[in-house]
C-alpha cells in the first residue's frame, strides 16, 4: 500500500510562490557552430538566466531515460515520462527488444492468435509501422524479427505497409530501409515459397501517424491506402519513392505522398480484408492511438471508413493504459507509478499543465506515467492551446505566445503551487530541417521566457527551465569520424531532422534565495532528477526511490 503523504523537508521550507517547470522541447546543448540554431539565435533571456540561476546540464538520451544504450537518442515521450516519474523505467524500445530476444513476444497468446487466424483464412499477416532504425517510434529490426518468425511458423502471406521516416533518421534515407526490407522479403520468399511483399506506404507526416487528434485527414489517407488499397499505384516501393521525389523536388521522406503497390493488372497487392491479422508495430503510443481507434472503435465517427474488415488487430504495446487501447497488444508497457503529479494531487497541491496540441499530451499523459485524465480535478488544471495546421517552418513561433498568456494568467491568480508547460518550437521546427526557421523558433521561446520570469520574481516563486532532448541544436548532419558537416554530391550541407544525443540545459532560478546550491553529489544528472528538485522547492522531501534533487 503506497504511503502518499509527502514529508516536509527538514531544512528548507520551500519557496513562497509557485514552482514552474518550463520544457523547451528540442533545445539541446550543441557545438556552438553554424548548424546550432540555439547558439545562432538571439537569446537575451537565456543568457541572463545563465548568469543569475543555478545552471547545469542534464542527460536526456540513452540509458538515462530508459532506452537500450547511449547510442539511442532521447525523445519527448521518454523524456516527459522521466520528468514526471522521478526515476528511470525501461522504455518501449528496450522492452520490445528484450521480449524479442527472449522469445517472449512469440510465446504469448496474442501472437499465437494472429498466426492461427491467417493460417485458417489464408489472408496475409499485415504489418503497419515506421520503417527506420530511429528507435523512437519503432525499429526496423523488430519488424524483421516478426517477418522471420512468420516464415518459421509457415505463414504463407505477409504484407508490409511502410511509413517513411526522415525525421528520426536522415531526411532522405528511405531507400536504405526499403532496400534492406526488400532483400529480406526476397530471401524469405525464396526460402519458403512465401508471398511476402510491401503493399503501401507514404511519409509519416502525410499519412497515418497523426497525434492528439490534430489532423485526422492524415489517418484517413492512411486508412484508404493501407486498408482499402485506394491510391496512386506503383510496381514497387522503390519506384514510388523515386518517382515522387522527382515530381516533388525538395520533398523529404516524412512528407512524401502516399502510394499503393499494384500488380500487373493495376490491382492493389495488399488491401486488408476479412480474415486478416494486423500488427501495428510502432511501440510508442502518441502517433499510434488514432490508427488504433480507427481499427478498433465500434462507433468511430472521425471519418467514413467505408468497408471495415473483420481482422485480428494488435499493437506492439498498449498505447493508452486508461483507455485500454489497443485491447490486444504484444508487449507489456512499463508500469510507471507514483508520479509527481499523483503525489501532488493526493497532497492537495494545486497544479497547472499547458502546451499546444503538438505537446499537450506530453505535459499531461506522458508526464503522468502514460495515464489519461487528471488525478484530482479539484487540484489540477490542464489547458490545451490548439496548434495551427500549417507547416511548422512557415510559422516557427507556433503557439508560444498563447501558452505564455495562459501561464501568466494562471500564475497571477495567486492559488497555483506547481506548473509545467512545454514550448514545442525547438522540436517541431527542428524536425523540418529549416535552420532559419529553427533560429526563429528558439527566439520565440526566449521571448516568452522573458515575459514569464518577471512574474515568478514578483510572486517569490521559482522556475526550472530545461528541455526533454536535443533537436534544433544540430541542424546539419555531422560526419562522426571527421566532425565536419556532411555534404551532398552538389556540395550542399545535409539538413538534419532528427533528435540529437546532446545534453540539455537546466536553469534553476530561485529569486532572492542565497542558500541553495547545486548538489555536487549527483553525478551525471538526468531528467529524472527534476521531480525531486521540484518537490524540494515546494518544501517536500523526495519519495522513496526517486532520484535525488539537483539542489542542496
Q: How many CB atoms lie within 10 A of CB 431?
A: 25
Look at residues 167, 164, 172, 101 and name the one whose alpha carbon lies nearest to residue 136.
167
Q: Regarding beta strands 462-466 and 259-261, do their DSSP bridges make them parallel or antiparallel, or are they unpaired?
A: unpaired
Q: Do the beta carbons of residue 161 and residue 226 sit within 8 Å?
A: yes
Q: Which of 76, 132, 448, 549 is catalytic?
A: 76
Between the alpha carbon of residue 506 and those of residues 73, 261, 473, the distances in Å are 18, 48, 15
Query: In this structure, what C-alpha cell is assigned to residue 388?
Result: 495551427
What single-letter DSSP state applies at residue 8? B
Alpha carbon distance, N-terminus to C-terminus of the chain: 30
3-class secondary structure for 508-534? Answer: EECCCCCCCCECCCCCCCEHHHHHHHH
Q: Using CA atoms, how far apart are residues 417 and 349, in angstroms rounded to an integer?
A: 6
Strand partners, 260: 200, 233
CB atoms within 10 A of CB 298: 5
Q: How many other C-beta atoms lie within 10 A of the C-beta of residue 386?
A: 13
Please enumerate in sequence order all residues whose Cβ is within 8 A of that of 349, keeping only pairs 6 or more positions apart, or say none.
Answer: 379, 417, 418, 538
Q: Are 316 and 61 in contact (CB under 8 A)?
A: no
Helices (H) and strands (E) counted in the chain, each on its own, are 17, 15
Residue by residue, DSSP assigns 442-508 as: HHHHHHHHHHHHHHHHHTT-EEEEE-SSBSTT--B-B-TTT-SBPB-TTSPBPB--S-BS--EEEEE
Per the annotation, the verdict on 76 as an active-site residue is yes
- Tell me the three cell numbers of residue 250: 525538395
4's CB contacts (< 8 A; 6+ apart) are: 342, 343, 346, 347
Find residue 261's DSSP bridge partners.
Answer: 234
For the annotated catalytic residues, the residue numbers are 76
Amino acid at each position: 500500500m503506497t504511503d502518499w503523504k509527502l514529508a516536509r523537508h527538514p531544512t528548507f521550507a520551500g519557496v513562497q510562490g509557485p514552482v514552474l517547470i518550463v520544457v523547451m522541447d528540442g533545445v539541446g546543448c550543441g557545438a556552438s557552430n553554424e548548424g546550432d540554431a540555439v547558439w545562432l539565435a538571439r537569446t537575451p533571456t537565456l543568457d541572463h538566466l545563465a548568469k543569475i540561476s543555478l545552471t547545469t546540464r542534464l542527460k536526456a538520451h540513452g540509458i538515462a531515460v530508459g532506452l537500450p544504450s547511449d547510442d539511442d537518442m532521447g525523445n519527448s515521450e521518454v523524456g516527459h515520462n522521466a520528468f514526471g516519474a522521478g526515476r528511470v523505467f525501461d522504455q518501449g524500445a528496450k522492452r520490445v527488444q528484450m521480449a524479442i530476444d527472449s522469445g517472449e513476444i512469440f510465446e504469448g497468446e496474442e501472437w499465437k492468435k494472429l498466426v492461427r487466424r491467417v493460417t485458417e483464412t489464408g489472408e496475409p499477416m499485415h504489418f503497419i509501422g515506421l520503417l527506420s532504425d530511429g528507435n523512437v517510434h519503432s525499429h526496423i529490426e523488430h519488424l524483421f524479427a516478426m517477418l522471420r518468425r512468420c516464415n518459421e511458423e509457415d505463414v504463407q502471406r505477409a504484407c508490409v505497409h511502410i511509413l517513411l521516416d526522415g525525421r528520426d533518421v536522415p531526411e532522405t534515407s528511405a531507400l536504405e530501409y526499403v532496400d534492406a526490407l526488400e532483400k529480406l522479403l526476397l530471401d524469405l520468399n525464396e526460402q519458403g515459397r512465401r508471398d511476402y511483399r510491401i503493399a503501401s506506404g507514404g511519409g509519416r507526416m502525410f499519412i497515418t501517424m497523426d497525434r492528439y487528434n490534430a489532423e485526422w485527414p492524415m489517418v484517413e489517407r492512411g486508412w484508404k491506402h493501407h486498408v482499402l488499397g485506394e491510391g496512386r499505384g506503383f510496381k514497387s516501393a522503390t519506384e514510388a519513392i523515386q518517382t515522387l521525389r522527382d515530381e516533388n523536388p525538395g520533398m523529404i521522406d516524412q512528407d512524401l505522398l502516399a502510394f499503393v503497390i499494384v500488380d500487373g493488372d493495376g490491382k492493389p497487392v495488399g488491401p486488408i480484408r476479412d480474415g486478416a491479422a494486423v500488427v501495428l508495430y510502432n511501440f510508442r503510443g502518441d502517433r499510434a492511438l488514432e490508427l488504433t481507434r480507427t481499427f478498433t472503435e465500434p462507433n468511430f465517427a472521425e471519418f467514413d471508413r467505408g468497408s471495415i474488415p473483420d481482422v485480428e488487430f494488435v499493437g506492439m504495446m498498449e498505447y493508452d493504459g486508461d483507455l485500454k487501447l489497443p485491447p490486444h497488444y504484444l508487449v507489456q508497457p512499463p508500469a510507471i507509478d507514483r508520479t509527481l503529479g499523483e503525489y501532488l494531487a493526493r497532497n492537495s497541491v494545486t497544479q497547472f499543465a499547458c502546451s499546444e496540441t503538438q505537446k499537450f499530451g506530453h505535459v499531461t499523459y506522458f508526464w503522468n506515467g502514460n495515464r489519461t485524465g487528471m488525478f484530482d480535478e479539484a487540484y489540477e488544471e490542464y489547458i490545451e492551446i490548439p496548434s495551427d495546421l500549417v507547416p511548422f517552418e512557415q510559422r516557427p513561433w507556433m503557439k508560444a505566445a498563447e501558452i505564455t498568456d495562459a501561464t501568466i494568467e494562471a500564475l497571477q491568480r495567486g492559488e497555483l503551487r506547481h506548473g509545467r508547460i512545454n514550448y514545442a518550437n525547438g522540436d517541431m521546427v527542428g524536425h523540418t530541417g529549416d535552420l532559419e526557421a529553427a533560429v526563429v523558433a528558439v527566439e520565440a521561446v526566449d521571448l516568452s521566457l522573458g515575459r514569464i520570469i518577471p512574474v515568478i520574481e514578483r510572486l517569490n516563486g521559482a522556475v526550472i527551465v530545461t528541455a526533454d532532448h536535443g533537436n534544433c541544436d544540430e541542424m546539419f548532419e555531422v560526419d562522426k569520424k571527421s566532425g565536419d558537416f556532411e555534404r551532398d554530391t552538389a556540395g550542399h550541407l545535409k539538413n538534419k531532422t532528427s533528435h540529437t544525443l546532446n545534453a540539455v540545459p537546466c536553469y534553476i532560478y530561485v529569486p532572492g534565495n542565497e542558500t541553495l546550491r547545486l548538489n555536487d553529489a549527483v553525478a551525471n544528472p538526468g531528467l529524472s532528477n527534476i521531480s525531486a528538485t521540484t518537490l524540494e522547492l515546494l518544501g517536500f522531501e523526495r519519495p522513496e526511490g526517486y532520484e535525488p534533487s539537483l539542489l542542496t
